[in-house]
Structure 1
Amino acid sequence: MNVNWLEQRQASSVEEGEVSTAWKPSGGFRAWEWWLTLGCGLVVLATAHQFGVTTDEGVQAEYGELVWRYFISGGVDRRCNELYDLKVYGPLYELISFWAYAWKPEWKFEIRHVVCGLTATLMVPPSVALGRRIGGEVGAVFTALGLLTLPQLIGHSCNNSKDIPTACGFIWSVWALVEVASGPARSFATRDRIITALGPGIALGLTMAVRPAAMLMLNGLLALAWLSHELRERMTQPPWLRSRWGVWSLLATLTIAWSLMVLAWPWARQAPWLHPLKAIATATAFHTAYPVTFEGRLLWSDQLPARYLIQTLAITTPLGTLGIAALGLGIAIVHLIRRPWDDPSQALLLVVAAFVGPILGWTLTRTNIYDGMRQFLFVLPPMAILFGVGCARLVQQGQSPQTRVGAAVFLASLTLWNLGDLVRLHPYQHTFHNAFVGGVAGADDRYDLDYWRASYKEAIEWVNRQPRSDPRQPLRVLVAGHPASRWCADWYKADHVETILMMGPASGPLPPGIDYVVATKRPLLRAVTSIEEARRAGRNAAFRPDQNYADAPVVHRVGRGGATFTVIRGRAATADRSR
């Protein structure tokens, strides 16, 4: 096998010498990644019900329902534009989720989790196809392994209906842009120019219909793909063979994308040009700061250090995956410098930009973010592709078939070793931290772990099993949070359990008539019931809910790997346990 594996791919494409007069997809899909996607879908069906309802899911589901009422009322019912600030978010995915569970509303969140998990599996085909384009079949296999063992993706896969669909649409957009930028030559015909614009336009539009702010990243990639394509054509092709991905194709791409974004978005339909721009401005200058635990200190989401995202990525990625992805990034950059015009370079450039660009952009601008990697999950599929690039180089450096097989087995074993952590943390894989900080136990109280309150499911199910002193009276439980997160516990409580929202700090023993307190360890803003109140809250308004009623004993803890996510206090410490 040739050591110069990227150059080998260029040579093979030159030998073929084919020049087409129409755009044809050349993504290199194979049957096995579709079978792998199907297998992942079956895993989702088996495990989706085990993931808890997260903080935002209740209001997101309500938003989808209100948007549907807007359409069936002919635009008369506009309550969807009055629900917190959700009018600035694209509702397409929430509509799809609503259509999925409308036939069985009593399974609303379980069905939402299935839909979200199935969407996550759709990241596999484009990621693997890009890994194959750059690193051959070896790169494709290791891209799949890297992608499916990333704890942050697995942990968010079933209950993050904003960032998982965004990540899925993002990697499909990268694939579509690579197909156009590095595909065979196209003709001057109007039909071919429209076909050229169709794939990227649909991919970008569907992504922006979920998260409009993705327009900033996607349009940057679109411009980069177009410029690199034009430069490549001028450097490598005579004028009569140059393909034409011209201004009209770009305009058609943007028109298709913008139309899809606005189509199912009631607020944007009122002002199709102005309101999407306002939504993007809101996303890039988010008006509410939230408390963040970082390096053992309580900081605020608009005052995080510039290294926050890079450091968070470094400590929430398995060490082997992180090191090999860094190697793949280095290989990609060196190749782009040495051979900027060959076929793999077009894919490498966009994959590197999709990974580095958003992180570098936040590092320079430091816009208001929180929840670790949650809002940047879309950089993880490109990182998995770079991981595949690094593995392909390491395997193909072998001097004999036996050496290469041995290297492949070792790298596969190193990657699959991560499955142990995924199983031990299930269903809280999003809390994963690597050995840099001592694992999940070392990250406890130093970094945000269960910022979603997904562990309230397990906590309230424990409460459901506790006996009542008086069978005629319900168990009354204080639950820390705010109205938007009430579903985290309420969806799972038994009929004999009554929950009461606790939105501020408190001391002393449990109040009369209260049996338990379920409290997250994540800092919250006191007495916040709306976005407006959060905006007005002072910097001293944060408190730790698990420290409320400190005189009451801890009767149960929910956690994994030596870390505690949620604390339950009661009247007697009869069952102080931690998972």
Structure 2
Amino acid sequence: MVDEARREQQGAGEGATGTRAGRSARGRPSTEPRSSDQRSTGIIYDALSALLFGVLVILILASFRDYGITWDESWHLHYGDHIVAWYASGFENRAALSYHSDYLYGGGFDATAALFRAAAASADGLAPYDVNHLLGACVGVLGILGAWRLGRLLYGPAGAFWSALLLSLTPVYYGHMFNNPKDIPFAAGYVWAMVGIGRVLLALPRVPTRRWVELGFLLGAALCVRVGGILTICYLLLALGLYGIHRAVVSGSLDAAFGVTARLLALAGAASLGAWSLMLVAWPWALLDPLRHPFEALGRMTAYNLHHREMPFGELVIRTTEPPWDYLPRYFLFKLPVLHWALLGAAAAIGLWTLWRALAGRGLLRADIRRPLLWFTLLLATAFPPIYAIVRGSTLYDGLRHFLFLIPLLAVFAASAVVVIARALERRGRVFASLWLVIVCGACVDVGRVMVHLHPHQYVFFNRLVGGLPGAFERYDTDYYGESYKRLFAGLYEHLWTHEREALLTEEFTVTGCIPVEIAREYERQNIRFTRAAGADFFVGYQREGCLRAHAASPVIYAEQRQGATLSLVRDLRPGARGRRSP
């Protein structure tokens, strides 16, 4: 990573805080030699990036078994097996063509995970869900690497490091990495698609062939998880169209601009065709009708209204099919750390100031449009999806889970504020820039401290604006994915081992509760069995469906809590347990 990063510095350049000194204002390579301070700062940031990714790898290897199985994982696990079986059977096994609702999605991650599980099984290695969690975490790190790349395109090594660090310190992203087989792979694909688009835009008008080939692969990485990745193709075509318009205005030659734009759009079409082909390989149902089925799936997902349920929203109880307009804004506001929002606010102010100066001096007409065009495309890719969902009144649930693909871009925007402010302060003296970076680092440490305390339930994080997790308890969805049940079953076992060891060794205990049977089976252990039959010994419940209050007269013998808020609990239903105090 460091060697390739050094090569990119030749085109990107960076100042002492990551500024782009290696190119002139018109985007051409600068003839001025880069100072030793600039080079050393770039090397330091590259070393910090390498250290960060090394730490991430160590954390993943040390903790991926800690994370519980989430509600969607079993569906995705079987869907991946069905896709592999479809190919292995010579297209005779058609289960993948109608399985659950998953057949409406690309199976890029699911099929890959199935292949890894098969390899692990033949080697008598990891359990199936452990394989998925390890692979999912690796894909999450690829998303962080995508943010690193995008930050580097914009602000060199400093932008790369801060983008990766801030995304790593986004609890809702980090927590989902291990056991969200759909939203995290799509988030990784989405940010890499924007990297590919960014590289093309910055290379206009003579884009190397390898960039188009690379772009086709990166667009396909998003499409093979969700057909909604088609938005990235729309962003690309719009950006190229705007480039053509700007070129016509600047050159005064409509014919010349049209010729260049037509060539670029044709190349973009070829890249999109390659992306579409990659999508079809991992999506059997779409492969049956490559033009109609993907758009049919897109329409059905856009109008999705099959998830009918009530959910808490502040002081209200709302329905998933009738979310208020501020559902997404409020969850974004509360689920990102305050640090991120402070930096995003600063980035917005910097962006508006820069835009005002450009418009006041008509700089957009005279200047190289490529970098402003990239910023516009990134803003559009971030703002359009939630605005569309709000205006359309789409079915929404699980907080911002379905919009996790925006988190890497938000981390890049936040990182831009760190770099730009540091650069501005450095002009007044390095001590000011250093003080600013110390403040940011201190805030990062605070976020990291909270994430350690929440482990392995980082995704339930709520920031101080809502009072943290205690302030969100029973007012917003916390452990909506049932992730904490793994720790809950372990807690039940430890309770019985401590207080009823002889019975645990000789008798069978039964558990019932608010959890899918297939997932509960994964948590069964020595003489503890799950059942749906009446007369179970214990009940397990989490926040949804009133499960925390079910069997309220029975004592709680174990509760999985973080920051004083209960995520899930075990109640003792046995005769004689009522009135018994919890240990």
Shorter-chain TM-score bucket reads 0.7 to 0.9
RMSD: 2.8
* Cα deviation code 1:182-201 (max 9, x no counterpart): 215417xxxx5x54532222
* Cα deviation code 1:445-499 (max 9, x no counterpart): 000000010111011112223136475431100021345xx31x32122041110
Q: Which moved more, 1:222-231 or 1:233-242?
A: 233-242
1:102 aligns to what SS in structure 2? helix
Counterpart of 1:329? 348
TM-score (norm 1): 0.85
Correspondence 1:278 to 2:296? yes
Asked if the contact 2:196–2:211 (Cα under 8 Å) also holds between the matched residues in 1, the reply is no
Structure 2 residue corresponding to 1:221, chosen from 219, 235, 238:
235
Unaligned runs of 5+ residues in structure 1 are 19-27, 503-510, 524-543
Kindly tell me: are residues 394 and 501 of structure 1, through their superposed partners in 2, closer, same or farther at Cα, counting changes over 3 Å?
A: farther
In 2, the alpha carbon distance for the partners of 1:16 and 1:482 equals 61
Kindly tell me: are residues 15 and 116 of structure 1, through their superposed partners in 2, closer, same or farther at Cα, counting changes over 3 Å?
A: closer
Kindly tell me: are residues 336 and 170 of structure 1, through their superposed partners in 2, closer, same or farther at Cα, counting changes over 3 Å?
A: farther
How many Å apart are 1:213 and its aligned residue? 2.2
Amino acid aligned to 1:490: R
Correspondence 1:562 to 2:578? no
Kindly tell me: are residues 236 and 491 of structure 1, through their superposed partners in 2, closer, same or farther at Cα, counting changes over 3 Å?
A: farther
Counterpart of 1:473? 507
In 2, the alpha carbon distance for the partners of 1:315 and 1:63 equals 33
Unaligned runs of 5+ residues in structure 2 are 1-14, 33-42
Counterpart of 2:200? 180
Q: Structure 2 matches for 1:129-140, cutoff 5 A?
A: 129-140=149-160
2:57 aligns to what SS in structure 1? helix
Asked if the contact 1:557–1:576 (Cα under 8 Å) also holds between the matched residues in 2, the reply is no
In 1, the alpha carbon distance for the partners of 2:433 and 2:350 equals 19
2:523 aligns to what SS in structure 1? coil
Q: Structure 2 matches for 1:65-104, cutoff 5 A?
A: 65-104=81-120
Counterpart of 1:490? 521
Asked if the contact 2:46–2:161 (Cα under 8 Å) also holds between the matched residues in 1, the reply is no
* Cα deviation code 1:308-354 (max 9, x no counterpart): 11111011111121111122133234434525444432332222222
Kindly tell me: are residues 15 and 491 of structure 1, through their superposed partners in 2, closer, same or farther at Cα, counting changes over 3 Å?
A: closer
Correspondence 1:431 to 2:445? no
TM-score (norm 2): 0.84
Counterpart of 1:266? 284
How many Å apart are 1:231 and its aligned residue? 3.5
Amino acid aligned to 1:369: L
Kindly tell me: are residues 169 and 15 of structure 1, through their superposed partners in 2, closer, same or farther at Cα, counting changes over 3 Å?
A: closer
In 2, the alpha carbon distance for the partners of 1:576 and 1:423 equals 27
Correspondence 1:377 to 2:397? no
In 2, the alpha carbon distance for the partners of 1:4 and 1:53 equals 41
Counterpart of 2:187? 167
2:449 aligns to what SS in structure 1? helix
How many Å apart are 1:209 and its aligned residue? 0.7
Asked if the contact 1:318–1:418 (Cα under 8 Å) also holds between the matched residues in 2, the reply is yes
2:341 aligns to what SS in structure 1? helix
How many Å apart are 1:238 and its aligned residue? 8.7
2:420 aligns to what SS in structure 1? helix
In 2, the alpha carbon distance for the partners of 1:331 and 1:82 equals 49
In 2, the alpha carbon distance for the partners of 1:371 and 1:299 equals 12
Counterpart of 1:499? 530
Q: Alignment length, in residue pairs?
A: 530
Correspondence 1:307 to 2:329? no
How many Å apart are 1:425 and its aligned residue? 0.5
* Cα deviation code 1:378-407 (max 9, x no counterpart): 111111111111112221222111211121
How many Å apart are 1:30 and its aligned residue? 5.5
Structure 2 residue corresponding to 1:515, chosen from 530, 537, 546:
537
Counterpart of 1:347? 374
Counterpart of 1:507? none
How many Å apart are 1:575 and its aligned residue? 7.3
How many Å apart are 1:270 and its aligned residue? 1.6
Asked if the contact 2:215–2:271 (Cα under 8 Å) also holds between the matched residues in 1, the reply is yes
* Cα deviation code 1:508-561 (max 9, x no counterpart): xxx53x1100011113xxxxxxxxxxxxxxxxxxxx122222222222211211
Amino acid aligned to 1:46: A
Identity over the aligned pairs, expressed in percent? 23
Counterpart of 1:540? none
Amino acid aligned to 1:372: G
In 2, the alpha carbon distance for the partners of 1:100 and 1:553 equals 43
Q: Which moved more, 1:172-181 or 1:406-415?
A: 406-415
* Cα deviation code 1:265-307 (max 9, x no counterpart): 1111221111111111121111312332211332111211111
Kindly tell me: are residues 140 and 471 of structure 1, through their superposed partners in 2, closer, same or farther at Cα, counting changes over 3 Å?
A: closer
How many Å apart are 1:33 and its aligned residue? 3.7
